[in-house]
Amino acid sequence: MQAANKQKTLKQRLAGNELTIGSWVTLGHPSIAEIMAGAGFDWLVIDAEHSVIELAEIQVLIQVIGACDCPAIVRLTSNDSNQIKRVMDAGANGIMVPFILSAADAEAAVQATYYPPRGKRGVGLARAQGYGARFAAYRQWLDSEAVVIAMIEHIDAVRNIESILAVDGIDAFIIGPYDLSASMGMPGETTHPDVRAAIDTVCRAGLELGLPGGIHVVEPDLEELDRQIGAGFRFLGYTLDIRILDSVCRRDLAAIRGRHAPRDSGR
């Protein structure tokens, strides 16, 4: 099954509402991205919103991730057409757009991703276009394979969820539970009943429209991942580089110290 999935593009897998598991890259060192891409994630998000990764580093990370045959998605700092153009020109497989609040926001993101007549993106010759040598091939790839992910992370987006997800060109969505809870006046209270109800509303809308949706399981918790898959999510982010590193260090050091704690000599 895994080999068969590798023959499909991410766009095709999303269109088929298949389960995909990705993760987040927030540290700019290429080796980290290479390790994570080589581990077998279905996609990786390069996080430009909550990290210090700059555009030149983003292109390097896209190159490294792509060399491992893993799709690279860039989470933007905002729904900015200029930034969308630049990361797509750098060779990103797609974009993840924060704070989509309305159908108009979603449409703007799609328009910024695609060339006319489908969209409004300016045409340039950069890495994605083979530095000018493969423009025709890139144009064909763009129309058939580029991915646009809407981030649903505000209560206003929940209220507009059906119209947002109905926008042609939105391939999937992912919920940002921390920002969603903050927009409801309960920052970080992601298990509060009202926050859970909002998440359930978004999940149901995705299921009704047949659009793959997901949520970011921030901590390395397989049981929580299983719960979210059971809830109907199909596009899931599983933890991130810094949490993997921190959690493994803390877990193993606690175990080591527990096994090898100094014994009380009784003195």
Q: What is the dihedral of CA 74, 80, 86, 90, to 10 degrees?
A: 10
User: Can you name the residues that pair with 97 across neighbouring β-strands?
Assistant: 150
Query: How many other C-beta atoms are found inside a 10 Å radius of the C-beta of residue 220?
Result: 17
Q: What is the DSSP string of 98-163?
A: S---SHHHHHHHHHHHS-TTT--PPP--SGGGGGGTTHHHHHHHHHHH-EEEEEE-SHHHHHTHHH
Token duo for residue 167: 């926008």
**Phi and psi, residue 176, nearest 5°:** -100, 95
Indicate if 29 belongs to the active site. Answer: no
Q: Which of 29, 50, 216, 260 is catalytic?
A: 50
Q: Which residues are catalytic?
A: 50
